[in-house]
Structures are given as structure tokens and as C-alpha cells.
């Protein structure tokens, strides 16, 4: 559910630059050659790739969040309850999410985005038949394997978070045999997909071409626990049936992959392949936000607070853009000023028959 923060942040920033430029809106997806996103980030990224306004994504979360996550895991008791009746909840949420995504992404395929929008996509997931990482990919170097996967299926696969949601059963478009592949959430290995993006950028960019990486998170919660030695014997109930382990994995990956990307980017730059990395926002959250940052918290007050926080952070980002001495601000401003205009209702993209 924290994806509503990402969508609201982008919506606010784009709206301000659109007003500055005197146009209805800006086609943010066209500012990039490659878009990568995992889980809820896959939904936001695919919407940008097809030219949908972020207001549609905000509406999707607000209108359907309570049905996608009809039961929030908020303690040991609720975790035990889910152990017995959880299948009913995730089945209902799966159906609602697919319908909501179809309203936004329609029948668009990976190949449609590449051919008609000139954009590459790399969306992480996990293939359950082999328990190995999988990237739904369409780039100039990727081949044809994923061409005909629908973006709705790709998003369902990338966001199929164990415990919180159903696994994703996706029709294999590479044959007429009625075969379905089963996928789990890409956040199991690439919740922060910055290294996926860097790898594909290096594969596709001509030698020594400057690479700019814009990395946007989902209002990550400040984490960490001071655990006394006598409380280390934590078992399944202590982890809320695994729900708290998911948050631990997300935080650890975000930190690790950001630092790996920084280290590799600096080394590549020194070797003559310039890599610039910008992660925003990068400030501490107010302490009172902590109670609204559960992955499955679809309460109206939580969504409202996430949107408010996104608006505040976007305003700070815009202030940085207006400061000529702020290098991050200059980078974002250059991107925003280069974007093509689009109607406020978004781009209407024809899909292949």
C-alpha cells in the first residue's frame, strides 16, 4: 500500500513543473529509456511506461486498497487468525487487484511499450517452478521471451508477496498449450531494483555513455531493534507468522543495494563510464508516521497520511530544484524541463491486436 506515497510524490512534483511550463501535464515515463520497479513499484513504473497520470494510481489504491487487503496483520492475534482463514482473504484481494490493474494498464504488453513508447522495462519476480529470480524484460538487448506478457500479469507476478497476497498464476504467452507459470514477489530478492536497472543500463548503453539513475522509494520506515540477549529466541509467533520478516528483508535490501550501486557507480565513473545516482527523498520521517507504514495498511487515515507526507516531500524536492547550488535539484529539474507535455488525462496508447 505504500506505493500510494510514490504515486502521490510524483503527481505533486509533475503538477508543479507542468504549471511552471504552462502545460496540462507532463509525460514522466518519456523522460527515461529504462524503467524498473518491483512489487508496488512495478505498478507505478508500468503506469508511467504507458503514459497514465499518477492520479489514476492514487485513485486505484484509495478505491481498492481495502478490498485488496481486507484483513490487516497488526499483531500476533491477527496473524494466528490469518493462519486459519487467510486463503479467503488473499483470493479476494487477488481478484480485486487484477481488475483494478486492468482498468489502468488494459491489454498492453511489454512489446507494446517498447515499440510504441520507445521504453524499456525490467520488472523483477520469482519463478516458483525453479525458486529462481526472474526479470520480465524488454530492452534492446533482451530478446523476445517476454514480448507478449501483459503488463497486468507482470505486475501481478512482481507483487505476489507471500503471506500478504496470493501467488500469481500467469498465462505463458509463448505457446498455445494453456500453460500457466506461477510467480512470487520480486521483493524477495530485488525489493530495491537499482542493481537490476544498472545492469540493464550497462548492457544497453553504448560505451562511455553517461547513465543517470533516478531512484524513488515508498516512504520507507526507520527500522532497527535493540534486542536484549534473552529475547533472541524468537519463533514463528514472534515474527507474526513471517509478516515481520518481510519488513526486515525489505529494509536490509534497500540499504544493501543502494550502497552496492553507489560503490559500483563510483568505480565505473573512475573507469570512464559515468554513472550518476540520485535517491529521493532522503530525509528522516516524522515519528508519528510509523503507525501508518505497514505493507498492508489500507485504512483511509493511513492513505491520507501517506499522501500528505508525499506532498510535503515533493515540495521539498521542488525547493531543491529551484536552488541552483543543489546538484540533486539541478538533475531533477533538467529531467522535468525536458519532458514532453501530455493531456491531464494521460496518453491513449493503442495496443497490438
Catalytic entry in 11, 25, 39, 200:
39
β-pairing verdict for 132-138 and 120-127? antiparallel
Kindly state the cell numbers that stand for 77.
Answer: 492475534
Is 200 one of the annotated active-site residues of the chain?
A: no
With residue 219 as reference, give the H or E element that holds it: none
DSSP, collapsed to helix, strand or coil, labels residue 127 as strand
Instruction: Name which of 37, 82, 96 is nearest 218 in CA terms.
Output: 37
Catalytic entry in 94, 147, 185, 313:
185
Q: How does DSSP classify residue 222? A: P
Residues in the chain: 353
Place of cell 540520485: 278
At 215, phi and psi to the nearest 5? -115, 120
Kindly state the cell numbers that stand for 81.
Answer: 487468525
Handedness of CA 351, 12, 195, 201 (dihedral sign): positive
Cis peptide before 281 (omega within 30 of 0): yes
Q: How does DSSP classify residue 164? A: T
Q: Which residues of 23-41 are buried (b: 16+ CB within 10 A; e: fewer)?
A: eebbbbbbbbbbbbbbbbb
Place of cell 504488453: 109
Is 63 one of the annotated active-site residues of the chain?
A: no
CA 164/CA 247 separation, integer angstroms: 12
CA 218/CA 263 separation, integer angstroms: 23
Whether the CB-CB separation of 16 and 318 falls below 8 Å is answered with yes
CA 305/CA 301 separation, integer angstroms: 6
Give the residue numbers annotated as catalytic, written as ranges: 39, 185
Amino acid at each position: 500500500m505504500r506505493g500510494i506515497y510514490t504515486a502521490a510524490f510524483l503527481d505533486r512534483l509533475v503538477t508543479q513543473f507542468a504549471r511552471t511550463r504552462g502545460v496540462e501535464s507532463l509525460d514522466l515515463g518519456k523522460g527515461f529509456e529504462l524503467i524498473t520497479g518491483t512489487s508496488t513499484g512495478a505498478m507505478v513504473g508500468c503506469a508511467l511506461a504507458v503514459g497514465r497520470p499518477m492520479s489514476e494510481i492514487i485513485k486505484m489504491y484509495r478505491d481498492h486498497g481495502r478490498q485488496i487487503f481486507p484483513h490487516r496483520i497488526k499483531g500476533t492475534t491477527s496473524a494466528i487468525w490469518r493462519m486459519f482463514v487467510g486463503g479467503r482473504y488473499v483470493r479476494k484481494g487477488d481478484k480485486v487487484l487484477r481488475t483494478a490493474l486492468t482498468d489502468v494498464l488494459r491489454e498492453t504488453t511489454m512489446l507494446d511499450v517498447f515499440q510504441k513508447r520507445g521504453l524499456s522495462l525490467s520488472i523483477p519476480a520469482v519463478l516458483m517452478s525453479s525458486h529462481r529470480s526472474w526479470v520480465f524484460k524488454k530492452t534492446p538487448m533482451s530478446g523476445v521471451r517476454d514480448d507478449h506478457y501483459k503488463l497486468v500479469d507482470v505486475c501481478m507476478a512482481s507483487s505476489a508477496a507471500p503471506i500478504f497476497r496470493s501467488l500469481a498464476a500467469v498465462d505463458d504467452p509463448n505457446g498455445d498449450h494453456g500453460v500457466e507459470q506461477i510467480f512470487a514477489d520480486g521483493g524477495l530478492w530485488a525489493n530495491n531494483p537499482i542493481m537490476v536497472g544498472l545492469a540493464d543500463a550497462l548492457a544497453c548503453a553504448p560505451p562511455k555513455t553517461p547513465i543517470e539513475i533516478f531512484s524513488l522509494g515508498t516512504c520507507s520506515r526507520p527500522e532497527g531493534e535493540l534486542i536484549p540477549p534473552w529475547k533472541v529466541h524468537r519463533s514463528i509467533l514472534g515474527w507474526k507468522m513471517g509478516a515481520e520478516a518481510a519488513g526486515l528483508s525489505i529494509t536490509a535490501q534497500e540499504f544493501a543495494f543502494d550502497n552496492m550501486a553507489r560503490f559500483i557507480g563510483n568505480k565505473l565513473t573512475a573507469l570512464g563510464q559515468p554513472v550518476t545516482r540520485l535517491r529521493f527523498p532522503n530525509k528522516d520521517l516524522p515519528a508519528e508516521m510509523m503507525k501508518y507504514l505497514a505493507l498492508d495498511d489500507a485504512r483511509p487515515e493511513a492513505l491520507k497520511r501517506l499522501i500528505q507526507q508525499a506532498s510535503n516531500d515533493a515540495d521539498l524536492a521542488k525547493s531543491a530544484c529551484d536552488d541552483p547550488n543543489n546538484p540533486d535539484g539541478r538533475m531533477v529539474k533538467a529531467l522535468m524541463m525536458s519532458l514532453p507535455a501530455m493531456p491531464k488525462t494521460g496518453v491513449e496508447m493503442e495496443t497490438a491486436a
